[in-house]
Amino acid sequence: MPCASLHDLPEPPPGRTGWPWTESSAALAPTMPDGGQWPRVSVVTPSFNQARFLEGTLRSILLQGYPNLEYFVMDGGSTDGSVDIIRQYAPWITHWVSESDGGQSTAINRGLKLGSGFFATWINSDDMLERDALVTHLRQCGFSPGIVYVGDCLYVDESDQPLNVHRGRVHGFEDLVHVRTVWRAHERGHIVQPEVLFPRQLALEVGGLDSHNHRTMDYELWGKLLLAGAHFKYTHIRFGRFRVHPGQKTGQDWAQTQSLIDTAVRLVARASDLPGPVREAIVADLRAYEREYWLATGPLARLGLPEGVVLPLREMRARLRRRAVRLLRKAS
């Protein structure tokens, strides 16, 4: 797919400046010095009712300046104007669709299977690639089989204001499943999905994303890649932007934690190279961490009440608070 330029794409919305609105990446030459094609990279964006962020996502990928990029946008039947935005950018998108798709993981898998890239990633419709991400990666690291490349990730808020820069600390399988001491340690060692480039075919060979895992599908994929013998290499390149906002699934802390622990336990069960006592110790610590996390969620949990009682009570309290806020706004 030919590189898009700022002059090719639709005008940005009024008041939007900087990357990826009025700035673009430094473009590579159309071919390598020997006349061959640059290694193909496939990018997939799963999309569902994120119109307020979607255009920035699309532009951050299309303006990478990377000549051999294929881009798939898999929309799940949005009704918030997302499809109109996608149509504006359709001439520069390899393939897009808007239809019910069975969820985020299924949509990403479909995009990866449509692709033909040597390496791939997915960028959710509220996240972005950084300026010059792909060109800088190619120049500094290249692409080697069996390597999962992990860059740095800039956290931003709803208004694109920077919050902090993250760098993961997962170097092997045991790092990944040591949730307490690595993934969720005080200095978080987790991997943020937009900072990753992985071998597309290897990801498909290990089964891609689990279509039944709707919260920690990326964590599970990293585990499957490690178990398949992939090596994780940290590039120290500013590669992706992860947006923090109230509507995202990762903000649902307890449900996210349950999914993380359950996924880690499943991965440990598959780690046949680990001695049985080591696997048992890891699982015991995972379940202990889960219990401690639950008790820390509030006084009702610490009283020993079961989730089936506590969670509905919390939801009822949240609904009453939202109703009170609406009434106060009307009164004022």
Against a cut of 0.75, is the pTM above it?
yes
C-alpha separations of 91 from 3, 27, 146 in Å: 11, 19, 33
Burial class (CB in 10 A: 0-12, 13-18, 19+), 201: middle
Predicted pLDDT at 184: 96
Predicted pLDDT at 251: 46
What SS3 state is found at 232? strand
Predicted pLDDT at 327: 82
Residues 300, 285 contacting (CB under 8 angstroms)? no
Residues 175, 169 contacting (CB under 8 angstroms)? yes
Residue ranges of the chain with pLDDT lower than 50?
250-251
Residues 30, 106 contacting (CB under 8 angstroms)? no
Report helix angle 253-270 to 276-295, nearest 10: 170
The count of C-alpha atoms lying within 13 angstroms of the C-alpha of 50, restricted to the half-sphere facing its C-beta, is 28
